[in-house]
Structure 1
Amino acid sequence: MKIINYTKIFREDCLQIFRSNLPKFFAIEELQLFESFLNDDTEENYFVVKIDGQVVGCGGFFLDTKNNVAGLSWGMVHADHHGKGIGKAFTQYRLDLLKKSYPSLPYKIETSQHTAEFYKMNGFRTVEIVPDGFSKGIDKYTMIMEVTER
């Protein structure tokens, strides 16, 4: 597994990964938001996961100075590669970067009921649930991880 910085050459790979996770993990209405994100907001904090030269995952992290929080953004693994530990390792990689970059801020993620337990096992706790918050049948879970400085 190799993790490298996202560049525009990986745009189609990331869109394919997104589409592979429809309709369970993402709503079709979110595709346009993700496309805009890839076009305008990736900068240096978005990455792709490659295995044997193939892009199988993507995700990043962000800083929200207005709300004094950092967090994980648009993380996903191609549906054909679910259950192989890639998401766990990639999430830990991004959390380690967050801890190095923003050691004293809480970390936030917005996810669905389908992945909330995964993030709970990674140290996040649910602070809000909005039924159908992303789309019909996809609830929006806002989760926070409090980080204690070492």
Structure 2
Amino acid sequence: MIRSYTQADKAAVLQLLQANTPTFFDPSEEADFVHYLTNELEDYFVIEQNHQLLGCGGINYLIADKTARISWDMLHPEAQGKGWGAKLVQHRLDHIKTKPEIATVIVRTSQLAYQFYQKCGFVLQEVTKDYWAKGFDLYYMVLELV
């Protein structure tokens, strides 16, 4: 089941981040994630099955640019490769499509996950080496909704 994040989920989503560190996230990114959850949260969703969180991911809106940004996606390592990530992306795209002012969706990911987003229809626009941390490059990707 995909549902909206609540503050009661905070410890569990931090555990998801830790389970994906250092494979997909640099240890330094935990402070950024805590800041995001505290100060930048707009729409954030979790995947829950049998009372356990399997994954999470958010959306931030740049209304002036008619853009939504997919943010802070992660799945528990045991849930990866089972279709949950695609369901979470599709859930958020469906949510974004209810907002007629949004024409473009962006995702800022790394070399470790960009191919997943390509399968979801995102197109690679730019690569910036060591953007997130040493060895974690920025892959800036776009999906046009129009």
TM-score, scaled to structure 1: 0.91
How big is the shift at 1:103? 6.0
Alignment partner of 1:106 is 2:107: no
Q: Which runs of 5+ in 2 are unaligned?
A: none
Distance 1:127 1:85 in 2: 25
Which residue number in structure 2 is paired with residue 52 of structure 1? 50
Distance 2:33 2:137 in 1: 18
Distance 1:85 1:121 in 2: 12
Which residue number in structure 1 is paired with residue 136 of structure 2? 138
The one-character-per-residue Cα deviations of 1:16-51 (angstroms, maximum 9, x if unpaired) are 0001111121111111010111122224x1111101
Task: Tell me the amino acid that sits aligned with residue 55 of structure 1.
Answer: L
The one-character-per-residue Cα deviations of 1:44-103 (angstroms, maximum 9, x if unpaired) are x11111011101111111111343311211111111211111111111111111112246
Cα separation, partners in 2 of 1:89 and 1:4, compared to 1, 3 Å: same
Alignment partner of 1:89 is 2:66: no
Give runs of aligned pairs for residues 60-71 of structure 1, distance below 5 A: 60-71=58-69
Distance 2:102 2:137 in 1: 29
Aligned pairs, how many? Answer: 146
Which residue number in structure 2 is paired with residue 17 of structure 1? 16
- Secondary structure (helix, strand or coil) at the match of 1:144 reads strand
Alignment partner of 1:79 is 2:81: no
| Equivalent of residue 145 in structure 2, options 140, 144, 147 | 147
Distance 1:26 1:79 in 2: 13
Distance 1:88 1:61 in 2: 15
TM-score, scaled to structure 2: 0.94
List structure 1 segments (4+ residues) > 4 angstroms apart after TM superposition. Answer: none
Distance 1:51 1:104 in 2: 30
Contact 1:128/1:143, CA 8 A, preserved across alignment: yes
